[in-house]
Amino acid sequence: AQSVTQLGSHVSVSEGALVLLRCNYSSSVPPYLFWYVQYPNQGLQLLLKYTSAATLVKGINGFEAEFKKSETSFHLTKPSAHMSDAAEYFCAVPYNQGGKLIFGQGTELSVKP
Amino acid sequence: DTEVTQTPKHLVMGMTNKKSLKCEQHMGHRAMYWYKQKAKKPPELMFVYSYEKLSINESVPSRFSPECPNSSLLNLHLHALQPEDSALYLCASSQELGHAFFGQGTRLTVV
């Protein structure tokens, strides 16, 4: 069964610094991969999704992710962190055709002024 | 309209109460979901409805009872809950295979 692993439960960066959040998927190449963001006391919002059409995926709020089959990775990056980026980030993959999502454990991003 | 609307936003209920959570979407999505999320944890799937039929029940206790009255609405009926059921309950919808749109959630506290 598919799964995703997020390395680092907490990442702290300074404002203006590079953001790198790590996600690795297991076994076979999934049809989709997603990054979601969750701000405190809110639901999840889609940042970006991989659909095999392109390996470099651009999302909202200046985030992007690169699908690397050789590394089974789909890391999320942003060149310059902003205070408003502080949130919980989840990588997710579909379990099967039924629409169930398998989430990573999440990475909490803190941004220092 | 690309929103999933959940009501209420907050709910406090006693262990003997009966309450319902409501979810609505008007994106024409035929799959709708209930997730439960504890603090600092990822969402855990509870139920999936596909074309208004229950397709996945992740061994959820019977004190949680889902209902899908039509393709736009999803309810979660709560009865005799325990304090450990306190969590953020998230509704989501999607096309059959694609990314899910999530609501803002209902923060449930069981006292």
pLDDT tens-place values along chain A, 113 residues long:
788 999 999 999 999 999 999 999 987 778 889 999 999 989 999 999 998 888 999 999 999 999 999 999 999 999 999 999 999 999 999 887 667 889 999 999 999 99
Contact B50 A43 (CB under 8 A): no
Residues of B in contact with A32 (CB under 8 A): 97-99
- The number of beta carbons lying within 10 Å of the beta carbon of residue B103 is 26
Q: Which residues of chain B have pLDDT under 50?
A: none
For A37, A78, B34, B103, the CA distances from A82, given in Å and listed in that order, are 14, 9, 32, 25
A32-55 b/e with 16+ CB inside 10 Å = b? Answer: ebbbbbbeeebbbbbbbbbeeeee
pLDDT at A27: 72
For A25, A32, A93, A110, the CA distances from A49, given in Å and listed in that order, are 14, 7, 10, 23
pLDDT at A95: 81
Q: Which two tokens stand for residue B20?
A: 């319902």
- Chain centroid to CA B94: 14
The answer to whether the beta carbons of residues A54 and A64 sit under 8 Å apart is no
The answer to whether the beta carbons of residues A62 and A37 sit under 8 Å apart is no
Contact B31 A99 (CB under 8 A): yes
HSE toward the beta carbon, residue A82, CA cutoff 13 A: 5
Spatial distance between the Cα atoms of B13 and B108, rounded to a whole number of angstroms: 8
State yes or no: cis peptide before B69, omega within 30 of 0: no
Partner A contacted by B105 (CB < 8 A) = yes
pLDDT tens, position by position, B10-29: 999 999 999 999 999 999 99
pLDDT at A1: 73
pLDDT at A94: 86
- Please classify residue B48 by burial: count the beta carbons closer than 10 Å to its beta carbon, then call 0-12 exposed, 13-18 middle and 19+ buried: buried
Partner B contacted by A100 (CB < 8 A) = yes
pLDDT at B99: 83
In single-letter form, the type of residue at position A81 comes to A
Contact A43 B42 (CB under 8 A): no
- Would you tell me which residues 39-78 of chain B have a C-beta closer than 8 angstroms to some C-beta of chain A? 40-43, 45, 48, 50, 55-56
